[in-house]
Structure 1
Amino acid sequence: MTTIDRTVPGLGRTKFSRRTKSNIKWGLLFCSPAIAGLLIFTAYPVIRTIQASFTSATMLTPGRFLGFDNYADLFTDAMFWRSLGNTVYILAWSVPLGIVVAMGLALLLNLNVHGRSIYRVLFFVPSIVPLVATAVVWYYVFSPQYGIVNSMLGLVGITGPSWLTDPAWAKPALIIIAVWGVGNLMVIMLAGVQDVPVELYEQAKIDGAGVLSRFRHVTLPFMSPHLLFALVTGLIAGFQYFTEVFVITSGDGRPAGSTMVAGLYLYQNLFAFFKVGYASAFALVLFILSATCAVIVFRTVGRRVYYGGS
């Protein structure tokens, strides 16, 4: 009588050799500092933030359990909606403009011109300047009295605005500052442009394609992974926008709350009002918003990305 083997493949107990066990042990040992750091400095704060968001905790007291009261108060807070609106406004302008500027610079710096290495360094330097120093420099650049921007506008007979002291011009000034520091994104775009196969450009020229046609049908498809990366990271960074506006406005969102972004309002609730529970709920809402935007981008734009050879 033939015996039938009823063992389901893949469900049996996996047996590791002595060498494999040794590799796993040593691998975990060498990774233990990173694992410990992730648990202590990332996982634990996230868990504590979630826990605190349901309490009335302050800097000095653990508080009592409130349920979803912090979230209810957050969604009825007019300043929360204003800070979120300011954040979305800056993000909606700075991210696309930053991508366009970085892409344009990458295309220009890919040309075979004399001294292009110097130009690449000059355009990259702003991205490595500390954010606090950047904010201080731009504060003086946008000065209504002696700032270089209004001085240059005055040379052509234009009276410059008050910029950082005018509610109508404060956010455009912050957008200009954000676009100014796209040097790191420019380097990524430049690497993507240089990866486009040269033979495709040559074939397109033979077929009679012009400059714009070659850019649309050759450059953009190969650059789409880099553009997706720039879009997703720009959205995430936009919801965390804080340092420049904090330094320039002394942390109060002046003038008239026009620069009160979400990160700054979160900072005020935590370190000025000591409302740990409320600030924790705010932080979780921002995280959910940024994660949702990233998922939407991947589900929509991500499907149109072309990966060479796939």
Structure 2
Amino acid sequence: MGFGLLFASPVLLGYVIFVIVPIAATFYLGFTSYSVGTVPKWIGFDNYASLFSGADPFFYPAVKATVYYVGLSVPLGIILSFFLAILLNQQVAGKSFFRGVFYLPVIIPLAASSMVWMWLLQPDFGIVNYALDALHLRASRWLGDTTSVVPTLILFSFWTLGNTIVIFLAGLQGIPAHLYEAIELDGGNRLHKLIYITIPMSSSIIFFNTVIAFINGFQTFVQPAVMTQGGPNNASLLYVLYLFNEGFKSSRMGSASAISVLLFLVIMLFTAAIFYFSKSLVYYEGKEERR
């Protein structure tokens, strides 16, 4: 036991220093007025009161934009990646090539791909609008309009679905073939296979990807930071970008700490709720035997 703790102590010490201490410090600083280079001054719940009372004009727009972004990008991304994984799981020529194509964007730095797509979607000289004009289709202002900027960011979020597709693909390949053979013997078609075999047997993978997607969605930062800087008119000011601006641009670390604590609590409660309500919907192999 002593040797085990001795060998584990570097990891435990690193976890305490780099995880536990920063979390505790963030909770503490959320109750202070603090900027870098100054001594934190205890102000109680003033930071939180400022946020919820509307004294900070950016809090509610950031919450609204984030809920809009997460509420659409996550379910649409899960559905799209699941059906792409089903297509890539078929016995067709060139499937290895297409698997690589869908995963390729994942290995490109997100900041770089965001910059490229920002130029492609430029309303005045972007290639996308140029192609739409050539096809006699209506061009869009994409990132330059308050009504289209968040939908554009949602569309761009599909660019990095490669990880989700790979995880779905691994789950689909683990479904026993005899289940599909049995439903074929009963006269089932592809829709029956999807509804009665593929989706139920993939429910644990769907659950996992959904939880991860929601957590990542609430923490989206690079895309709006690079492509829009929160504009136009704060329409794409997602929550973590707002946190960054508050802490590092406005140098209000106390307020930024309170903002990050709220994000932590929302993600924790949301994840706990998903786990609670998924108990009767998610199938795990061997669950019946354990009962």
Q: Same fold (TM over 0.5)?
A: yes
Q: RMSD in angstroms over aligned alpha carbons? A: 1.2
Structure 2 alignment gaps of length 5 or more: none
Give the aligned residue type for 1:248. M
**Distance (whole Å) between structure 2 residues aligned to residue 154 and residue 195 of structure 1:** 46
Number of the residue aligned with 1:176: 155
Number of the residue aligned with 1:112: 91
1:158 aligns with 2:150: no
1:193 aligns with 2:196: no
Number of the residue aligned with 1:223: 202
Number of the residue aligned with 2:107: 128
Number of the residue aligned with 1:9: none
**Distance (whole Å) between structure 2 residues aligned to residue 113 and residue 209 of structure 1:** 22
1:64-100 CA-partner distances (Å, limit 9, x unpaired): 2111111111112342111011011111111111111
1:253-289 CA-partner distances (Å, limit 9, x unpaired): 1111111111111111101111111111110001111
Number of the residue aligned with 1:256: 233
2:278 partner SS: helix
Give the aligned residue type for 1:264. L
Q: CA deviation at 1:28?
A: 2.3
Give the aligned residue type for 1:97. L
- Alignment length, in residue pairs? 285
Normalising by structure 1, report the TM-score: 0.89
Number of the residue aligned with 2:257: 280
**Distance (whole Å) between structure 2 residues aligned to residue 55 and residue 303 of structure 1:** 43
Number of the residue aligned with 1:32: 9
Which residue, out of 293, 296, 300, partners 2:270? 293
Q: CA deviation at 1:156?
A: 2.4
Q: CA deviation at 1:241?
A: 0.7
Number of the residue aligned with 2:47: 70
Instruction: Answer whether contact 1:201 1:218 (CA < 8 A) is retained.
Output: yes
Number of the residue aligned with 1:61: 38
Give the aligned residue type for 1:286. L
Instruction: Answer whether contact 1:134 1:244 (CA < 8 A) is retained.
Output: no
Q: Percent same amino acid among aligned pairs?
A: 38
Which residue, out of 22, 38, 41, partners 1:45? 22
Structure 1 alignment gaps of length 5 or more: 1-23
Q: CA deviation at 1:25?
A: 2.8
Q: CA deviation at 1:146?
A: 2.9
Q: CA deviation at 1:225?
A: 0.5
Number of the residue aligned with 1:247: 226
Q: CA deviation at 1:52?
A: 0.6
